[in-house]
Amino acid sequence: MKRLSLLKFLLISALSTVFFLQSCTDNAPSPALDLNSAHLYDSEVYLRWNNLFLELDRYAGGYRPGPAPRALAFLGFSAYESIVAGIPENQSIKNLFPGLAIPEADPELDYYWPACINASYAYLMPRLFFHMENEYTPLYVKIDQTYGQLNNEFAQQTTPEILARSLAYGQSVAQAVYDWERADVVGHNAFLDPQPISYTPPSAPGLWQPTPPDFVRAMFPQWGSVRRFAMDETELLARPPIPYSENPNSLFYNQAFETYTTVLNIETDGPGAYEQRWVGEFWSDDILGLTFSPPARLLAVADQVVIHENLDLAGSAELYAKLGMALSDAGVALWYSKYHYNVERPITYIRRIIAQHQPEAANWEPILRNPVTGFNGVTPAFPAYPSGHAGFGGAGGKILSSMFEYNANHPGTYSMTDQCHFNRSEFNGTPRHFSSFKELADENAYSRIPLGVHYRMDCTEGLRQGELAAQRVLELPWKK
């Protein structure tokens, strides 16, 4: 961490030198130097808290798929608002949200901005993950430990007065954000009841029903009513899917047949089978207790970029706020659409319809395995169309592109190797290289076909909805 006092001394000294040199040549005024800017700090406080989030998210029951991106949205938004007064080119967006009353930072006083973020996360994390306190106690106590460790480091970087003020302000912002979060009655603590027994899925040919091998109840059928940050209500509904048909010459049948034959090719070690399985498993992140969740995967990708680019605190604040809000809005739109159209999963259609023409399809199953429960051929417990994976990938990819592509540092696209699952042994986590964030998002979307849990139309439309969610977040008035 940078030492605030030393930084100010060095900056003031440098500024004095500039003044002296200019006085020898002309009397032109020197530009003002903001000594209380969040640009003076690195992103370490974010990376430490994000690492803990990914650990908690891996085991957090009821957190996938919707509550995880929603938590990221509130954490990122609160942290951004706690330091926006220290980002000269940015402004608060709190006035966009009725019922939200965030206190102002005192413009006459100094703040140690990393401490504001530390306090914000420390206030919200135990409230967002309180259900893990007893079952995962050693992991849950890392919340207090992370806060304490960072706080001890910050105490060496600034004065007790500035540190105390900063912690108090960061907590006051987080408390205001949490009070507003609780007013969202559908989203608040929804992870406690992810599969409500009150919901009964409609029954008709082509409509979703619980799938083998576990036949679990529908997850988050109400999620389409959760509060959004940027998307308009009129934008929530996805474009209509391909019309349902059992005719072998129909587009719907052909899409199901593609999924069926792609998985069959993998299982029989056909052409390109290794690559197809690798792609499917690399992006899965479906299994609770095995990896972090699919939306949190984009946070893990973003962390790698932040580290590689040495992004400062101000830039990180903007990135993580936008990323969380885009992922959250995408989740709301995707689940609104899923339970509007209620399209059945490939396993149901393949075993029921394609098996009439291909008898061996009667026992077909996806390649998704759950090593935690021992189940094979798993399908996520909600309707197929559109794909949540694709939507989260589209949202995250577009936010990352907006921050790191086609700018002074990267005139074109951004090339990176995703090492999220490096050294894992339960599946092929070998890092994969991408020449752009669009390519990364597209592969994330496509991966659901070789895994056997989606039709191509699910992936295409999910990607579009996720990108739309990101676009709406990017259109918010972040800059002055």
Q: Which DSSP helix (H) or strand (E) runs through 432?
A: strand 432-434
Please, what sign has the CA dihedral across residues 180, 69, 73, 148? positive
**CA dihedral angle for residue 376, residue 296, residue 428, residue 387, rounded to 10 degrees:** 60
Task: Render pLDDT for 81-91 as a digit per residue (tens, 0 to 9).
Answer: 999 999 999 99
pLDDT at site 20: 30
Whole-angstrom distance, CA of residue 156 vs CA of residue 11: 19
The CATH code belonging to domain 4-13+33-182 is 1.10.606.20
Instruction: Please tell me the distance from the alpha carbon of residue 151 to that of residue 112, in angstroms, as a whole number.
Output: 11
Nearest Cα residue to 366 out of 253, 267, 242: 267
Contact 196, 222 (CB under 8 A): yes
The pLDDT score that the predictor gives to residue 72 is: 98
Domain 197-474's class?
A: mainly alpha
Which residues are 375's β-sheet partners? 370
Per-residue pLDDT of the chain (480 residues; tens, 9 = 90+): 443 444 443 443 343 333 333 333 334 433 444 658 999 999 999 999 999 999 999 999 999 999 999 999 999 999 999 999 999 999 999 999 999 999 999 999 999 999 999 999 999 999 999 999 999 999 999 999 999 999 999 999 999 999 999 999 999 999 999 999 999 999 999 999 999 999 999 999 999 999 999 999 999 999 999 999 999 999 999 999 999 999 999 999 999 999 999 999 999 999 999 999 999 999 999 999 999 999 999 999 999 999 999 999 999 999 999 999 999 999 999 999 999 999 999 999 999 999 999 999 999 999 999 998 889 999 999 999 999 999 999 999 999 999 999 998 899 999 999 999 998 888 999 999 999 999 999 999 999 999 999 999 999 999 999 999 999 999 999 999
- Distance (Å, whole) CA 257 – CA 261: 6
Question: What are the start-end ranges of the E strands in 263-344?
Answer: none
**433: helix, strand or coil:** strand
Torsion of CA 131, 133, 134, 137, to 10 degrees: 140
Q: At what angle do helices 388-404 and 456-474 cross, to 10 degrees?
A: 40
Q: Which ranges in the chain are annotated with CATH 1.10.606.20?
A: 4-13+33-182, 197-474
- φ, ψ at 408 (rounded to 5°): -60, -35
Contact 174, 110 (CB under 8 A): no
Separation of alpha carbons 375 and 377, rounded Å = 7
Is 55 exposed, middle or buried, given 0-12, 13-18 or 19+ CB atoms closer than 10 A?
middle
